[in-house]
A = this chain, B = another copy of it.
Amino acid sequence: MADLLLGKPVLEDIKAQLLSANLQKKVVTIGFEGDAQWLQYTNALKKNSPAFGVEVDNVLLDEREDIVNTIEKYNKDDSVGGIMVQQPLPKKVANAVESIAFEKDLDCLSSKAVNALYRNQPNAVCSATPQAVLELLNYYNVSVAGKNVVIVGRGYAVGRPLALLLINNNATVTVCHTKTRDLSSVCKTADILISCCGVPNMINQNHVKAGMIVIDVGLSFVDGKTCGDVDKQAIENIVQAYSPVPGGVGPVTRGCIFKNLQKLITK
């Protein structure tokens, strides 16, 4: 039976680090009224924040308000260390992310932040979910350097930034996607297989081999239940270790948002 790479202890570790760091600046989230998912996400962030010793302000605009002005206000506010902006934004204001000051771009949304990650600059801050994958692996003493890492998914939220982050950390990275031929053969070349394609239970016994580490970053809902990309029952007797959904990368992501705040403040 494979080892479980659970997120909870990683999160507790991050909490302890951040509490002792005593971060003095807050996080501001900026979004529009009426986006239920964003509301749920930011409410949870605010609720969780005291455990990290961090204050979160959730700013909700009505559609007539100017989001660029709002972002610029918080760029100038010294009490604010990090700014997150609703994703995706309504199309006509999608470019507002370019207004986020590089020094406060908590979620790697602006061109400058993407470029810093692409160029492996020392002040680059990667978005929380890809960062959480690396934190989880580090916590369980799995080094990515020199390993063959196969990523299933080339999205902008996880696949692409994760590929850059892992190349920067000396992994040999393969990016697969819907157009990949013979996905199962490519997956089997991995020492570490990371799925972030959002197709429930797609990764099964045909994609894994003995000794492999599997990280599930999928998040779907099937019959009202949270479900990942990986069919756990199909792989758990084959691979060396895996991180499940729920309970794996998800909790670490919450921690990485606040860890990114720390990076922004101290960089």
CB pair B186–A172 under 8 Å, yes or no, is yes
The closest CB in chain B to the CB of A114 belongs to B115
Classify the interface of chain A: helix, strand, loop or mixed.
mixed
Q: What residues on B are CB-neighbors of A118 within 8 Å?
A: 114, 118, 156, 160
Q: What residues on B are CB-neighbors of A44 within 8 Å?
A: none
CB pair B175–A145 under 8 Å, yes or no, is no
A: which residues have CB within 8 A of B? 110-112, 114-115, 118-119, 145-148, 154, 156, 160, 163-164, 167, 170, 172-177, 179-181, 186, 189
CB pair A154–B167 under 8 Å, yes or no, is yes
The closest CB in chain B to the CB of A178 belongs to B170
Cβ contact of A175, chosen from B167, B180, B189, cutoff 8 A: B167
CB pair B147–A181 under 8 Å, yes or no, is yes
Q: What residues on B are CB-neighbors of A112 within 8 Å?
A: 111
A148 to B163, CA, bound (A): 16
A179 to B160, CA, bound (A): 20
CB pair A167–B177 under 8 Å, yes or no, is yes
Q: What residues on B are CB-neighbors of A146 within 8 Å?
A: 179-181
The 9 A-B pairs at the shortest CB distance, nearest first, are namely A111-B115, A170-B179, A111-B111, A174-B174, A172-B180, A146-B181, A111-B112, A114-B115, A146-B179
A73 to B134, CA, bound (A): 44
Q: What residues on B are CB-neighbors of A173 within 8 Å?
A: 174-175
Q: What residues on B are CB-neighbors of A110 within 8 Å?
A: 111, 115
The closest CB in chain B to the CB of A147 belongs to B181
